[in-house]
Structure 1
Amino acid sequence: MTRRTTVLVLVGVLAAAALCTSLSSVPSGQIQARQQAVLSGLSEHAKADFDFTPPLQTAGRHIVDADGKRFKLASINWYGASDVHFVPGGLDKRHRTELAATIRQMVFNSVRFPYSDQMVIDNPIIPPEVIAANLDLLDDLKPNASSRADGEPTGPRALDVYAACVKAMTDAGIAVIPNNHITNAHWCDGKNLCDASWKNSQYGSLCKVRQTTETWIEHWKTIMEPHIDNPLVIGADLRNEPRGIWGTMTWNMWATASEKVSEALLAMQPNWLMFVEGVSSANDVSGARTRPVKLSIPDRVVYSSHVYQWSGWSTLVPYHSRPYPSFAMDMERNWGYLLRGNIAPVWLGEFGSPSNGDERDHHYWDNLMQYMRESDVDWGYWALNPRKPEQYDNETYGLLKDDWKTPVEDWRYKDLMKLSAPLS
C-alpha cells in the first residue's frame, strides 16, 4: 500500500467516524420534538381514526375496543426486517420516530410489520450503514461495553432494531401487528418450497434455513415477548401466504397449526388477536366456513386474505381480466361470506398496485375498491417502502418517495383514504 493510499484510507475512515458520531449524537429530545410537532398537526378527523381503548377483541364481523366501539384497521405494510439486511426499510434515511410520525400523518392507524425466521435465528449485528439515521441505537450498547471481548463487533442486533421500531410506532399511537413473513430472509421467494409454509422439515437438507412447527412457535415467542405489556401491539399475523405443492396444503393442516401457535401466544398475553391468513397464498379463506379456527379464549380470531391483480387462480382467470360480478363472486366465496354472515372479521392484509399502472392494474383496482367499499372490510396496503432492499430496486407499489418522507399522493392514496373510516 502506498503512502498516498494509506492517507486516503485514513481520511475515509475518519470521515465515516465523523459521520457516525454526528448522526448518533443528535439529541433524542430533538427527534421526539419533531415527531410531536407532526402529531400535533393532525386534523381532528385523523386523530379520531386512532382513538381506541385497548385491548381489542372481535364481535361478529368487527374488531372492537374495550368500550365496544369498532376499530377498523387501516394499515400499511412496512417491510425490510424480513429481507436480506434484517432491518425495516428507510432506517438509513430517517429516524424511526420520524418514520412513525409520517405513517400516522398519512392516517394509517396500524402497521403490518414483517419479519423472517432467519432474522430470529441469526439475529446478526447490524452494520451502521443500514441504520445510518438511527445510530442512537448504539447508545444502548455502552453500558455493556466492558463485557465485550477486544475486537468484538459492536452494533445493535436485528431483534433490538425490530423491537425499537415497534416501540417508536406504538409511542406514536399506531397499532402494530408483527407478521411472520418468510423463513429464509428475502424480499420474495415465492418459488422456493422451503418458504411456502410455516415448516419445511419435510424437505430435509434441501432447505438452507430449516424449520419445524415447534421452532416456528419458539420464534414467535421470541418476537412477541418484548411487547407483552405494550397494549398497542395488538396481535400476530401468524404466517404470510401459506401454500404448498398443488393439493398438499389443506385448510385443515393450516388451521390446526394456527391453533397451536395461537394457544402458545395467548398463554403469554391473552389479549392478543390472532390473524389467520388463507391458503393458496392467502387468497382462500373458504375453509373457515366448515372448519373455523377455534381457540380456548373466545373472540380472538381475525381471518386475512391477500388480493392482487394476478390472483384468481380458482378459475385460471386473473382478477385483472374479471368483470365485476365475477370478481365479487370470488371475493364472496373466499372471505366475504364471513362479513356478510357476521361470523368473523376479515383483514385484507395485502393488496396494491403500481403508481404507473396500466389498464389491467386500474381494472383490478377499481373492482377491488368497489368491493372493499361495499363490504367495509379492514385492510392493509402493500407497501410504505419506495425501494426494495436487495438491489435497491424501485418499489412501484410504494406510497413514499425516496426521501422516506413525502407521500406519493396519486389515485391509490386518495382511494385508500376514502376507505379508512368505517361505514356508519
Structure 2
Amino acid sequence: MMPKEPEPEPGNNGTGIGTDGWHRGRRLVLPLSNHTSSTYTALTSPISCARRRRLISLPPNTKAGRMILLFSALLLGFFLHYMWKAEAALSKPWKPDDSSLAFSQRPLPPPSNETFLSSAGYKLPLRTKGRDIVDQNGKRFKLSSINWYGASDELFIPGGLDVQHRDVIASTIRSLGFNSVRMPYSDEMVISNPEVPLRLLAANRDLVGKRALDVFEATVTALTDAGLAVIVNNHITTATWCCGADPCDAGWANDFLPGSLCRVRQTEAQWIDHWVTVMTRFVDNPLVIGADLRNEVRGLWGTMPWERWAAAAERAGNALLRMNSDWLIIVGGTESGNDLTGVKRRPVELDVANKLVYSAHVYSWSGWGSMGGRYSKRTYASFVKAMRQNWGYLVEEKLAPVWIGEFGAPDRPGIGDANYWQNLLRYLKAIDADFGYWAINPRKPKDNEKESYSLVEDDWVTPVLDYRMKDMTELMRQ
C-alpha cells in the first residue's frame, strides 16, 4: 500500500521548497516489493514520484507539447539560417584594394641583399637573444621564409622537380625576396626511402636512380647554394597531406594506439632516430640553420598535452644539438600549432643555451571552437587578443623568438579570407615578426590539384603578384 502523501508544512509551498528558500527533508516509507519496504529521508521534494513526473514532463501529443516542439524547431531553423547567411557572407569574393591592384601591374622589386645570410655579413652560427634570432655579433636575422612541400607527401620528394631544375626553383624563391625555406619530410620517407621514379625527376635528370633521401639532400643543397637558409621540418608520420583526423599522425609517436590502427607505427625513440638520419646529411652545411621538430601536434582527447610535448621536444632537440650545437631547435605549439600558452607554466629547456625558437601556425579557420570563433570572422581587436594570448606574449614581452612557420591565403579570397589576412599581416607588421608562408608549390603532389595558396604559376618561375606578395614584401623590408 502506498504511503499517504504528507501535507505541506507551514512555509512550504507544496513543491518541497519552503518559502524560506530551503529544501526540507521528509521521512517516507516506499515499498520495494510486495513483501518488503524501506524508509529513506527525501532530501528534496516530498511529492510522489508519479506526481513529480507529471509536473516535469509534457507528453508531445498534448497541445502544449506540440507547441513546444514547434517553437524549438522554429528556433533551430532560424539559427541554421543565420549561420548559413553568415558563412555565405564570408565566402563572397573579396575585391582587391587599389594598392593591391597597382602592385600587380608593376614588376616585383628586387630583393635586398641585406636580408640574406650569405651576402649581408652575418657571422654564423645563429643564436637567440630575447625575442630575436641574431648572429654572433648580435645582428638580427629575420626569418622571411616560405614552405616548399612534397617530401612529406605520397611521392616522397619536393614538388616541381619534374617541371624545373632545383637550382631554378631556388633562384625563383630568392627573387621573391624570401631568405629561408622550410622543408618538410615524413617519417615514412625515411623508413622506406624509395627509389624515385624517372617521371618525377624529368627536369632533374642528374638525380635519376637516386632515392628519396638523396633527392631531399640535393634539393636542400640547391637552396643553400643559392644563399638561402633552410629549416628542416618533420611534418607527418605517414606520407600524406597534413593534417587530417587520423590519430596516427597527430603527434611524434603513435605506439600508444592499437597495433592495427596505424599503417606506419612509430615510437618516440624511432622519431628521434629518423631526425638523426636526416640531419646527418647536413651537419657540415652551415646554411641549414635549424630543425622544426614536429608539425602541428594535435593529440586526440588530451593525448598530446603541452607538458608531454615539451619533454619530448627537449629529448629530440638535445639529441640534435649533440650532433651540431649550431642548430636552432624550433618547437611548435599544440592544438595544430596554434597554442603556446603552455610555455608560461612549462618552458622548453635545452642543454645548449640560446638555441630555442618557438613556432605558431595561423590560418583563417584557426580559432574554431573558441568563444571568438574562427579568425576569418573576427575583428582586429578580437584577433590580436587571441594572438597575444596564444603566442604573441612571448614576442611582445621579449621572452623568446616565435616564428609563424605557416600561414597563407588563396589567390581568389573570400571576404573572410581577406579579413583574416589583413588582421594577421597588420599584427605581424606591428611586432615585426619572423614568418614562413605556405607555400611556393603551384600543384599538390598526389593528384596534381591546383594549390590556390601558391605564389608562382605552374612553371614554378612566374610570380603571382597579388595582395599576398604586396603585404609580404612590405613585411620583409621592415
Settle same-fold status: TM greater than 0.5: yes
The amino acid that maps onto 1:94 is Q
2:206 matched to which residue of 1? 136
2:214 matched to which residue of 1? 160
1:321 matched to which residue of 2? 377
Paired positions, count: 365
Q: Which has the higher helix share?
A: 1
1:62 matched to which residue of 2? 132
The amino acid that maps onto 1:411 is Y
2:230 matched to which residue of 1? 176
User: Following superposition of structure 1 onto structure 2, how do residues 107-118 of structure 1 map, counting pairs within 5 Å?
Assistant: 107-118=177-188
Larger-gyration structure (1/2): 2
Q: Determine the C-alpha separation between the residues in 2 that align with 1:67 and 1:45.
A: 23
* Cα shift readout 1:147-199 (whole Å, capped 9, x = no counterpart): xxxxxxxx100000000001000011100001000110012241110000000
User: Following superposition of structure 1 onto structure 2, how do residues 405-416 of structure 1 map, counting pairs within 5 Å?
Assistant: 405-416=461-472
* Cα shift readout 1:69-105 (whole Å, capped 9, x = no counterpart): 0000000000000011101000000000111111111
Q: Determine the C-alpha separation between the residues in 1 that align with 2:165 and 2:137.
A: 34
* Residue pair 2:183, 2:230 contacting (<8 A) in 1 also: yes
* Residue pair 2:111, 2:176 contacting (<8 A) in 1 also: no
Q: Following TM superposition, by how much is the alpha carbon of 1:67 offset from its aligned partner in structure 2, in angstroms?
A: 1.8
The amino acid that maps onto 1:55 is P
Q: Determine the C-alpha separation between the residues in 2 that align with 1:316 and 1:243.
A: 20
Q: Following TM superposition, by how much is the alpha carbon of 1:403 offset from its aligned partner in structure 2, in angstroms?
A: 0.5
Structure 1, unpaired ranges of 5+: 1-41, 139-154
User: Following superposition of structure 1 onto structure 2, how do residues 12-23 of structure 1 map, counting pairs within 5 Å?
Assistant: none
* Cα shift readout 1:116-153 (whole Å, capped 9, x = no counterpart): 00000000000010011001124xxxxxxxxxxxxxxx
1:267 matched to which residue of 2? 322
* Cα shift readout 1:36-78 (whole Å, capped 9, x = no counterpart): xxxxxx9885211102322100000000012210000000000
* Residue pair 1:72, 1:421 contacting (<8 A) in 2 also: no
Structure 2 residue 303 is matched with structure 1 residue 248: yes
* Cα shift readout 1:349-377 (whole Å, capped 9, x = no counterpart): 00000000010000000100111011111
User: Following superposition of structure 1 onto structure 2, how do residues 190-339 of structure 1 map, counting pairs within 5 Å?
Assistant: 190-203=244-257, 204-313=259-368, 314-315=370-371, 317-339=373-395
Structure 2, unpaired ranges of 5+: 1-107
Query: Taking structure 2 as the reference length, what is the TM-score of the superposition?
Result: 0.75
Q: Determine the C-alpha separation between the residues in 1 that align with 2:109 and 2:439.
A: 24
2:446 to 387, 390, 394: 390
RMSD over aligned Cα, in angstroms? 1.2
Query: Taking structure 1 as the reference length, what is the TM-score of the superposition?
Result: 0.84
**Quick one: percent identity of the two aligned structures?**
56
Distance 1:86 1:329, change over 3 A: same
The amino acid that maps onto 1:81 is A
Question: 3-state SS of the aligned residue for 2:164?
Answer: coil
Greater RCO structure (CA 8 Å; 6+ sep) = 1
Distance 1:304 1:125, change over 3 A: same
Q: Determine the C-alpha separation between the residues in 1 that align with 2:227 and 2:275.
A: 23
The amino acid that maps onto 2:142 is K
2:154 to 67, 84, 88: 84
